[in-house]
Each structure stands twice: as C-alpha cells, then as structure tokens.
Amino acid sequence: MVNQVQLNTIKSFCNKYNAILVAVTKTRSIDELQELYNLNQRVFAENRVQELLNKKDKLPNDIQWHLIGHLQTNKVKQIASFISMIHSVDSIKLVKEINKQAKKEDRIIKCLLQFHVAQEESKFGIKAHEINNFMEELLATDISHVKISGIMGMASFVQDKKQVRKEFQELKSIFNQLKTTYFKEDDSFEHISMGMSNDYEIALQEGSSMVRVGSLLFQ
Ligand SMILES: *Cc1c(COP(=O)(O)O)cnc(C)c1O
C-alpha cells in the first residue's frame, strides 16, 4: 500500500526545492503502482527492463517510465520506443546503442551520466578521474538521438550524514564542472538525479533536481 503521509511529505519537499519525484516501483505490485497513479504520480522508475515491460503493459499509457538500474546494451531495443529517461549511462558503448535504437524509433532519448562517488566498490558509474576522457570520447560520438540531460549518482549507504552530504556535494561539483566545460549553451543539461528514501532531504539541500524514492512511498 502507498504511504500517503510519506508521499505528501516527499512531494512538499520536492516542491520547495523545485525537484521532480521519481517513484521507484521495483518489486512493487501493479495494484500499488495503480494506487500511486491514482494519487497523480506520473513518473515511475524501475531498475530491470523485464519488470518494467511487464508493468508498463498493465498500467495507463501516460506514465513516464525511467530506467535507473544498470542497462545491458542488448536490452536497449526493448525500451527504446517509449522510455522517458535512462539514468544509468556510464559507458560509450551504451550511449552508442541508445543512439542507434532511438534513431530507429525516430526519437531522442534523455539520458543521465551516472557517476560513482560512494565509498562502496562498484563496477558501475564513471569515476571522477575518468570524466575528461569520457567526455572527449562522448564528443567524438554520434549522439544525435541522445540528449544528455544531466548526471545521476548515489551516496554511500552509511549512517554518517556528513559523509552523505559530502558525496552529494561532489556530485553537484561534477555537474557544475561538466556544465561549464561542455554544456554551457545547452539548457537541457539541467538535472542532478540524487537522493533516495534514506537521504533525499540532504540531496535536495545539496542541489538535487530529481529524487529517486522507493521504499519510503510504501507501507
Ligand atoms: C532502488 C533504487 C532507488 C530507491 O531506493 P529506496 O531506498 O527504496 O528509496 C533509487 N535509485 C536506484 C538506482 C535504485 O536501484
């Protein structure tokens, strides 16, 4: 069931900071998604392609679907015709495939570059020291059907709020660096997707424009 008290609290925080609430609905039932929809939520995110496709079939078609989990190149074609935004772009190979499939669909797909700033080891996400190489390669790639709309990241899963805040500040500074160096004239490079159930308030204080909240929305 949807926790309406939490939903309203999160929504009012988002309004205050002019941010978008992306409802993370992985592992949740169709009934729960429908309930969220009936409460006027329209932006939903899943981290697995198959689960997203199953749910999309059973729900109203004005939902904006976001993909937030690691995306294998061979699955891009299954979502290219409708996906609103892909948050988890961290390789040139993936950018090329998204561009190719978007072109076939005659669409432009919004993508966020995923950065790794957390302490936990992860194979996913671009590391801060890789930014310039990544961007040089990206600039040399055909991305006519991809819109790089900003960045995404996750803070460490720790109790230490100072550490979490520091990592969100790091993401914000990566965003600023990219904005001034590569996207100065590009108004659509505008999003910082950061903040989840545990840390969305800190993320909003540190400049998030999109929070990805899951567990807190349900009871
Ligand atoms: C699951 C998930 C979330 C939401 O996490 P909650 O703690 O349930 O709010 C956000 N981002 C990503 C990438 C996720 O996989």
Instruction: Give tens-digit pLDDT for 23-45.
Output: 999 999 999 999 999 999 999 99
pTM attached to this predicted model: 0.97
In this structure, the residue with its CA closest to atom 4 of ligand 1 is 214
Mean local confidence (pLDDT), 169-197: 97
Q: Which of 26, 33, 21, 71 is nearest to 52 (CA)?
A: 26
Range 94-127 burial, b when 16+ CB lie within 10 A, else e = bbbbbbbbbbeeeeebbbbbbbbbbeeeeeebbe
Give me the count of residues in the chain: 219
Indicate whether residue 112 lines ligand 1 (CB < 6 A): no
pLDDT score of 122: 86
Confidence label for 123 from pLDDT (cuts 50, 70 and 90): confident
Tell me the CA–centroid distance for residue 185 and ligand 1, in Å: 31
Indicate whether residue 6 lines ligand 1 (CB < 6 A): no
The conformation of residue 63, written as its DSSP 8-state character, comes to: -
In this structure, the residue with its CA closest to atom 7 of ligand 1 is 197
Confidence label for 218 from pLDDT (cuts 50, 70 and 90): very high
Better-predicted residue by pLDDT, 120 or 194: 194
Indicate whether residue 118 lines ligand 1 (CB < 6 A): no
Indicate whether residue 70 lines ligand 1 (CB < 6 A): no
The residue type at 93 = K
